[in-house]
Amino acid sequence: MSRRMVKHSFILLNVDYVELGDKWNYKNVLSPYYRMYYIDKGEGSISDQTATWVLEPGYLYLVPSFTLCNLKCTGFIGQYFVHFFEDALDGLSLFHNSQTVYKIKATEMDIANFKRLLEINPFRKINRSDNPQVYEKGIYYREYEELNNKQSYELFMETQGILLQLISKFISTDQLRQKDTTAIPSRIVDLLGFIQLNLSNTVTVKMLAGMVNLHPDHLSRLFLKLTGERPLSYIHRKRIERAQYLMITTDMSLSQIAAATGFDNVAHFSRVFKKITSLTPARYREQDHSNNML
């Protein structure tokens, strides 16, 4: 009998309750981790290039990793928040084809989960600043990873369980269900894993097709049907996601990052980066490094 397994785990970064004012106004936020909010009072907004979502009391909000958005509060807002990384066994994010903001009504259990997560993870607050440009640094990621390693196994498991409960609420939304790709054949899943492990190397559609004994055109159509993207587009997006992470967490030059993510030169890297993120690599890095520590 085959066993069904949870293919996704989530690694906690930050959790806190904050009261924010009109200084909480940040544009073009693009993070390598998930953001989840529960609003208990006041009002704010999250927007992208196509829509705006009002942050209002009684609702949960999810911003998947690598989702470009703007955060804004014009007056006052009370906000529970949690930031966390995703680890997928097959390299395919739950929201890989649904990078938008999600909003659902919160239940009493959801609110209790936020409070419990904060209670058992008391040292995960962002005390330095509420500005992503300040707290998104590799040194802080390493600090939080060490806190995970030091946490008792009992509380580590409880933390994982709470994160799974919270994220599960968004998986059931119609918007995501319509794009569900959990039935991807194993041979395509193997290709996704191969791509993830070889982002710094040459990977072509012909090469991938040969690995699964398909014609490149056939593979391209099948890949589009199952993942929502052509193979080359998927490869480019995964390379740019890796580049974003390296730009935030390291001091590598753009040429070094371009080479580490499989691009022949900085010019090609820059073109693809801007096409996917709407920002040039230089602007993205400037956005991240333009602040001193607070």
Domain boundaries along the sequence of the chain: 8-177, 186-289
Domain 186-289 has CATH 1.10.10.60: yes
Assess whether pLDDT exceeds 50 at residue 290.
Answer: no
Residue 8: is it exposed, middle or buried by C-beta count within 10 angstroms (0-12/13-18/19+)? middle
Provide φ and ψ at 62, rounded to 5°.
-130, 130
pLDDT band, very low/low/confident/very high, at 60 (cuts 50, 70, 90)? very high
Each residue's pLDDT tens digit, 68-114: 788 999 899 999 999 998 877 666 677 866 778 999 999 999 999 99
Q: Which of 49-63, 127-141, 210-224, 250-264 has the lowest mean pLDDT?
A: 127-141
Domain 8-177 has CATH 2.40.50.140: no
Which pLDDT belongs to residue 278? 85
pTM of the model: 0.68
Record the tokens describing residue 197, joined without a space.
């492990």
Do 138 and 250 contact (CB within 8 A), yes or no? Answer: yes
